[in-house]
Structure 1
């Protein structure tokens, strides 16, 4: 998988950090790996990685703060110019677990703001750079090598997988993101930009907890393998980290 540039949000920990780490260690490694996080000053592990790998560049991207999106776009544009951005990986998110009798309207709004509106607006901000990458690429058809938006979902956001209820703020926010990604896959296709939903499974991160079935390293190994194989047939679909195609 030849990716010249990729931007990953929520890159200071968990799956996002592991994506940056493995991509930086890859051979070949992307020319530009943009690691977006809310508080770069406190992202010590990311800063260590950036010191070791000059192609890792840390960006301040606070999901929900659209002013930070435009600043990030300007920084990326200065680096890559007309080459454009090949992959935008909307990984950042929050998980609020509330049962029916506990959930509040504010909790519903907060998860929707971060998990649904945030990725949509960030993609809108970076769309011109994604289109530049698609237009300048010699690759035909859809692929991560050309231009792609990858939106991180969750098994909790798949209707057919809901057997336990609960998670009232989180489940609907991810379901809405899935629908947004499906629309993107249709709207972006004529411009050569692919949009795919990624399901990381249950991972032992701060969000997933210690009892999860996969480590971040195992999960990201799988995600990168999936990314390398994405094409026309996968556009708009839910792809699990192990390569399985999931139902909405």
Structure 2
């Protein structure tokens, strides 16, 4: 928050990805700031973890984690899509990349359907797999309008789940983002 309060170009606003009116309010605010330039990029970092195994999971917990991690990113992109499309249309001769218009969904390797070495986190794993699948579908649709959509795993960042610090994570993510041009597929592991 320190960087945000000391920089007039940074605006902090509340956005509840499970509340469409909150998404709409955020979109209106962003639209007023970007005006004719469009929006680029969207980096979706929201994540909700529910630690449970098959026997502890409840309908409400599974629904909340799925709404936050899978449905939320889709609703945010749906609302902000006109701004992304506008950014992509500014220079149609530029290759599809993070410099033109992009959606970067921060995912988790736990969402991989081939990662079967650990137990627990069932809601988190299923919702992150759904997020990656939704992003794959987005990438195929948005490719036609020049918007890159991909998922990226930031490493095991020092949160309530991870071990590396955020600076190390960002230093790993940035070179990957700089290289993306839409032909690499939709899942990137840092």
Q: TM-score range by the shorter chain?
A: over 0.9
CA RMSD of aligned residues (A): 1.3
Specify the alignment match of 1:72 in structure 2: 26
Specify the alignment match of 1:187 in structure 2: 141
Work out whether residues 185 and 196 of structure 1, in 8 Å CA contact, stay in contact via their aligned partners in 2: yes
Figure out how many residues of one structure are paired with residues of the other and give that number: 190
Looking at structure 2, the residues matched to 221 and 152 of structure 1 have their Cα atoms a distance apart, in angstroms, of 14
Seen in structure 2, the aligned counterparts of structure 1 residues 99 and 221 have a Cα distance that, compared at 3 Å, is same
Shift of 1:176: 0.5
Specify the alignment match of 1:121 in structure 2: 75
User: Which stretches of structure 1, 4 residues or more, deviate above 4 A after TM superposition?
Assistant: none
Work out whether residues 92 and 146 of structure 2, in 8 Å CA contact, stay in contact via their aligned partners in 1: no
Looking at structure 2, the residues matched to 134 and 108 of structure 1 have their Cα atoms a distance apart, in angstroms, of 36
Specify the alignment match of 1:4 in structure 2: none
Q: Return the TM-score normalized by structure 2.
A: 0.95
Task: Compare relative contact order (CA 8 Å, sep 6+) and give the higher one, 1 or 2.
Answer: 2
Specify the alignment match of 1:160 in structure 2: 114
Specify which structure has the higher proportion of strand: 1
Q: Return the TM-score normalized by structure 1.
A: 0.74
Counterpart check, 1:208 vs 2:158: no
Specify the alignment match of 2:98 in structure 1: 144
Question: Structure 1, unaligned stretches of length 5 or more?
Answer: 1-45, 242-248
Give the SS at the match of 1:79: helix
Looking at structure 2, the residues matched to 57 and 175 of structure 1 have their Cα atoms a distance apart, in angstroms, of 31
Match of 1:88 among 27, 32, 42: 42
